[in-house]
Amino acid sequence: MSALIDAYYRQHQLDRIVPPALIGHFALLRFEKGVAICEVGQTIDSLWFLVEGRAKVFMPMENARSLLLCFYQPPQIFGDQEIFEPEPRAVTAIETLTPCVCLRLKREVVMALLADNPVFLRQMCLSLGRKLGRSNRNSALNLLHPLENRLASYILGTASREIGRPAEFSGNLTQIADFLGTSFRHLHRTLQDFCALGFLSKQGTRYTILDEAELQKRAVGIFVQPSGLEE
């Protein structure tokens, strides 16, 4: 396990935020596809680093609907929004889109050994700033761009990909409509339009992506969360 932690630490250059002397404090956790890494209101007792896989970040609403905020891919930090609170609790929900691997650093380690480290604090500021920028940008894009742009981004962000096979998209359309802030009818009609344009091909409840380049053009970067680490 320690060898795997070391490999991920080096692969994603986590020494830019956590000194090598603290690598022994990391724990490695694996999550299967479709499981919750955290839920709104859950106590945050760690700082997390997504080092493998993809996840979606969303906000459950009081009316039982949910709004998609962004997609996470490595390297990404989470828990940074909450960890310095006196009683940290998750402000968003995170669910895996693929099998994921995370490195976890306990809050007590962060507070005792990193909270006064200027390099660490610089990275926390960078990560939080990028999330704020993403939130502002996506709010504007959600308001100003039509559903086809948001749907194209969602399809690309959640598609399953296997070597030697075209990417596929599937899911509960009622739930997806909630995530994208639209009606089931509008979503279904837009999917039909994508099929008519040759971007997708429908087989049962699954859609095969036929023209990823055209979907990329329409996605316009919506829901993309930049890495939380300085490049």
Location of structure tokens 């039982």: 64
Residue 231 lies in a domain: no
Q: How many domains are there within the chain? A: 2
Specify if 229 maps to a domain: no
Domain end point (choices 106, 121, 142): 142
Q: What ranges make up the beta strands (E) of the chain?
A: 27-31, 36-38, 46-52, 55-60, 66-72, 76-78, 93-96, 100-106, 168-169, 200-203, 206-209
Percent of the chain with pLDDT over 70: 93
Beta bridge partners of 68: 58
**CB 59, CB 130: distance < 8 Å:** no
Among 57-61, 158-162, 167-171, 221-225, whose mean pLDDT is lowest?
Answer: 221-225
Same domain, yes or no, for 44 and 117? yes
Q: Examine the pLDDT at 16 and tell me if it is beyond 70.
A: yes
Name the 3-class secondary structure at 49. strand
Q: Are 108 and 152 in a shared domain?
A: no
- Residue-level pLDDT at 144: 67
CB 156 within 8 A of CB 212: yes
Mean pLDDT value across the chain? 89
106 with 180, same domain: the answer is: no
User: Residue 140 corresponds to which tokens in the numbers above?
Assistant: 């504007």
CA dist 216 and 211 (Å) reads: 9
Which residues have C-beta within 8 Å of that of residue 85, sequence separation ≥ 6? 44
- Summarize pLDDT for 36-71 with one digit per residue, the tens: 999 999 999 999 999 999 999 998 877 767 888 888
CA–CA separation, 229 and 76 (whole Å): 7
Of 94, 119, 142, the residue that ends a domain is 142
Q: What angle do CA 182, 185, 188 make, to 5 degrees?
A: 95
Tell me: do 175 and 130 sit in the same domain: no
Do 137 and 149 reside in the same domain of the chain? no
pLDDT score, position 130: 83
- In a shared domain, residues 72 and 150: no
Residues 6+ apart with CB under 8 A from 219: 149, 152, 153, 156
Q: Could you list the residue range(s) of the whole structural domain that residue 48 is in? A: 2-142
- Helix H or strand E encompassing 227: none
d(CA 94, CA 69): 10
Tell how far CA 61 is from the center of its chain.
Answer: 18
Q: Domain check: are 93 and 187 in the same one?
A: no
* Strand ranges inside 141-231, DSSP E: 168-169, 200-203, 206-209
pLDDT (tens digit, 9 = 90+) per residue, 71-124? 899 999 999 989 899 899 998 999 999 999 999 999 999 999 999 999 999 999
Asked whether the predicted pLDDT for residue 161 surpasses 80, the reply is yes
Which has more pLDDT, 230 or 207?
Answer: 207
**Is residue 123 domain-shared with residue 20, that is, in the same domain?**
yes
**Largest pairwise CA distance in the chain:** 58
